Amino acid sequence: MNHPRRIRSVSFIFALLAIASASALGEMPGYSPEDDPALEEIIPAGVTPDPEQRAIVLEAVPQVYLCRVEYNAAGNVRAIYLSNHPALSNRKKVIAAYGEETPERAGIDAATLARFAAFGDLEEIIMLHQNPGAEGFVALDHWPNLISFRVEYIDHADFMPKINALQNLRWLELKHLFGLKETRVDELGTFPYLERLELDNASAQEEALTFLARNPSIRDFELHRSGLDNEDIGTIVDLLPNLERLCLKPQGANHFDAGALVHVKRLEGLKVFGFHQWSPDMYVWEDGIEYLAGIPSLQSIEVAARHDPAVIEMLLAERPDVSEAKGKNELILTDWSIERK
């Protein structure tokens, strides 16, 4: 059951907060978004940013705690990273600059996001702890070159069908959507170049299988907080035969376990497997993790927390050529990502 009234009211409240925050800063003597610690600009040497596009960027600055923007050689916006995440933003710097009484920044509003349609060269956008209304996502229709679309902490799914406009997409992330009670991920179509996918919460359940069936090109897949069972994991293996990296994170009491690896062993090109927040009882060797040892292509494993190091040591002892990755070992996260700049 959808809750359109609740979603609209929440989006409206966030919009009012964003306007109030921006207005309050604008009234501060001497305030300039160009000097705001939230703004980080990456400008190639000798390049002058397009003035109209930069004006839109500056409009977003007082609404967020991080607005990292990269321009290309033509002076157009290539990538933008918006964050109000407490740990992944410049929140502390902003408060230090403007004081503890500075109005809370509610995130980019729908009207400003819609104006991002002017960023015709945009290749990458990351939005963390932003909650614009669905009407702001009309901008997606104007980003033909977008290859990376990553959102976290949005409490509605109304924007998801708009993603279908992004036919050059290589990386899609729908993660940490804890406020989402329902998903529309099953309404997403085929993305011929999609390589990396991260699904979480409501989007990591049975509806995901419909979407995966349309995108066999995926080779790097993270499934977070999922209640899918072992047979569902087998279905994923059949739908995504090109997987080179697979990371599984369970949710609740009913979900896959180590027995799912009897299906994972069929992935002939698997290089990385991730045990993301597996509980101690999931580390079962016989008819479980031992199946990974039989995958010749396996190169590394990711263990978020070593709840049963003895079983992991058994795997590494049987396969001394396999390493334990420190952190994530993504396959297509390269230096082009604005997250790493």
The pLDDT value given to residue 21: 53
Supply the pTM of this predicted model: 0.90
Domain positions in the chain are: 10-134, 219-327
Which phi and psi angles does 110 have, rounded to 5°?
-60, -35
Can you tell me whether residue 297 is helix, strand or coil? coil
Rounded Cα gap, residues 292 and 273, in angstroms: 8
Q: How many CA atoms lie within 13 A of 317 on its CB side?
A: 7
Instruction: Judge whether 147 and 168 are in contact, CB under 8 Å.
Output: yes
- Residue 334's pLDDT is 63
Burial 10-42 (b: 16+ CB within 10 A, else e): bbeebbebbeebbeebeeeeeeebeebbbbeee
Measured CA to CA, the distance from residue 222 to residue 94 in angstroms comes to 33
Q: State residue 10's pLDDT score.
A: 38
Q: Per-residue b/e over 63-81, b at no fewer than 16 CB within 10 Å?
A: bbbbbbbbbbeebbbbbbb
What pLDDT sits at residue 305?
A: 72
- Which positions ≥6 away from 284 have C-beta within 8 Å? 257, 258, 259, 311
Place of tokens 């993270």: 222
Strand intervals (E) in 148-244 = 148-152, 171-175, 196-199, 220-226
The list of the chain residues with pLDDT below 50 reads: 1-18
Residues 6+ apart with CB under 8 A from 140: 146, 149, 159, 162, 163, 165, 166
Residue 327: predicted pLDDT: 75
Q: What kind and span of H or E run contains 245?
A: strand 245-250
Rounded distance, CA 4 to CA 137, Å? 16
* DSSP code of residue 287: I
The pLDDT value recorded for residue 8 is: 36
CA distance readout (Å), 283 to 156, 238, 260, 289: 35, 24, 12, 7
**3-state DSSP: the chain helix, strand, coil percent, rounded to 5?**
35, 20, 45
- Given a contact cutoff of 8 angstroms between Cβ atoms, the answer to whether 127 and 85 are in contact is no
